[in-house]
């Protein structure tokens, strides 16, 4: 963090993964105390304090939907019961065997964990609650805690609003209209790719529909490299960041070139972050690789994905 500050990163939002006692995607919601091998409470407080001294926002990755069977307080009675009277099971992520926590109980665990962190001197300025704004709304058929999709939405909203009430920036995975009023930023807004979202060419022609509606309401970061998560090969995420008036992702070991590109993105974001993207997103030629967006303060951005060029100006 100190090195990045020295290299010219004046402001940053630091998203910390894998800080729980067993590492990434493990034993949710019972992730405390923080991983001892990584420094435990003492080490996490040092990181939190360092970020604060650098004027960086310190944020954690968290999860209150994936419910792991080896979590310390796991209780199958608190799991989502499907319409057939069964508890769904999977083992997709690093933590192994899991089901889903009924969202009825999520606010309790959010408050419990955040209070524990605060009581141990860890000052959070941001929180990423994983999957809440990207996966479907759950239904639960358990007789003791029946939950409709609307109930699920309300409980997820309660979690976001509690975090916000603590003066902590809220975020989740992607832009979803019910969740946007309760979040400050999203993790990404990827375009659909083939063969998968991590790498490949675009399915159809990407259009910034989310930003056309919600640009001034939510912050969206973009990777600043060619291809990658939600960025069509061979197009440059740096140009998408400019076209959308967003912010940039930096690697933890960003080099000078990456930092300089990000400064360009940040300068534009400072200018248009609170502006609407008005309805004049345009394709400027038949290839659709030359595009233009206009923001409500009169700022326009033109990008050329074929030649990796851009232009920023005023109407």
Strand partners, 221: 247
User: Residue 198 above 90 pLDDT?
Assistant: no
Q: Which stretches does DSSP call E strand in 101-147?
A: 126-129
Work out whether strand 282-283 and strand 290-294 pair parallel, antiparallel, or are unpaired.
antiparallel
> What pLDDT does 182 receive?
97
> What pLDDT does 315 receive?
83
How big is the chain by its Cα radius of gyration, in Å? 21
> What pLDDT does 215 receive?
96
- What's the rounded mean pLDDT across residues 227-237? 92
Reported as a pLDDT band with limits 50, 70 and 90, residue 197 is confident
pLDDT tens profile 1-15: 999 999 999 999 999
Burial class (CB in 10 A: 0-12, 13-18, 19+), 225: middle
Q: Which has the closest alpha carbon to 56: 295, 252, 267, 196?
A: 252
Q: Which has the closest alpha carbon to 41: 134, 143, 102, 113?
A: 113
Between 228 and 104, residue with greater pLDDT: 104
> What pLDDT does 279 receive?
79
CA pair distance 4, 9, nearest whole angstrom: 6
- Angle at alpha carbon of residue 195, lines to 193 and 199, rounded to 5°: 60
pLDDT tens profile 165-194: 999 999 999 999 999 999 999 999 999 999
User: Residue 67 above 90 pLDDT?
Assistant: yes
Strand partners, 238: none
């Amino acid at each position: 963090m100190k090195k990045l500050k020295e290299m010219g990163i004046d402001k940053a939002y630091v998203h910390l993964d894998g800080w729980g006692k067993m590492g990434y995607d493990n034993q949710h919601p019972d992730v405390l105390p923080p991983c001892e091998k990584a420094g435990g409470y003492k080490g996490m407080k040092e990181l939190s304090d360092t970020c604060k001294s650098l004027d960086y926002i310190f944020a954690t990755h968290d999860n209150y939907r994936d419910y792991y069977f080896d979590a310390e307080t796991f209780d199958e009675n608190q799991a989502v019961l499907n319409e057939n009277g069964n508890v769904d099971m999977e083992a997709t992520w690093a933590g192994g065997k899991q089901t889903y926590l009924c969202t009825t109980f999520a606010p309790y665990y959010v408050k419990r964990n955040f209070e524990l962190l605060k009581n141990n001197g860890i000052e959070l300025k941001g929180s990423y609650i994983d999957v809440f704004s990207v996966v479907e709304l759950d239904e639960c058929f358990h007789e003791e805690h029946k939950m409709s999709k609307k109930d699920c939405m309300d409980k997820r909203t309660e979690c976001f609003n509690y975090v916000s009430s603590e003066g902590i920036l809220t975020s989740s995975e992607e832009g979803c209209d019910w969740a946007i009023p309760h979040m400050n930023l999203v993790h990404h807004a990827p375009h659909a790719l083939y063969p998968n979202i991590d790498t490949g060419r675009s399915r159809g022609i990407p259009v910034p529909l989310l930003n056309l509606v919600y640009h001034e309401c939510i912050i969206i970061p973009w990777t600043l490299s060619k291809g990658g998560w939600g960025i069509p090969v061979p197009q440059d995420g740096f140009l998408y960041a400019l076209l959308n008036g967003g912010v940039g992702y930096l690697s933890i070991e960003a080099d000078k070139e990456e930092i300089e590109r990000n400064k360009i993105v940040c300068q534009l974001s400072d200018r248009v972050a609170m502006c609407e993207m008005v309805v004049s997103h345009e394709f400027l030629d038949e290839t659709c690789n030359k595009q233009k967006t206009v923001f409500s303060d009169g700022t326009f951005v033109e990008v050329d994905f074929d030649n990796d060029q851009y232009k920023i100006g005023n109407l």
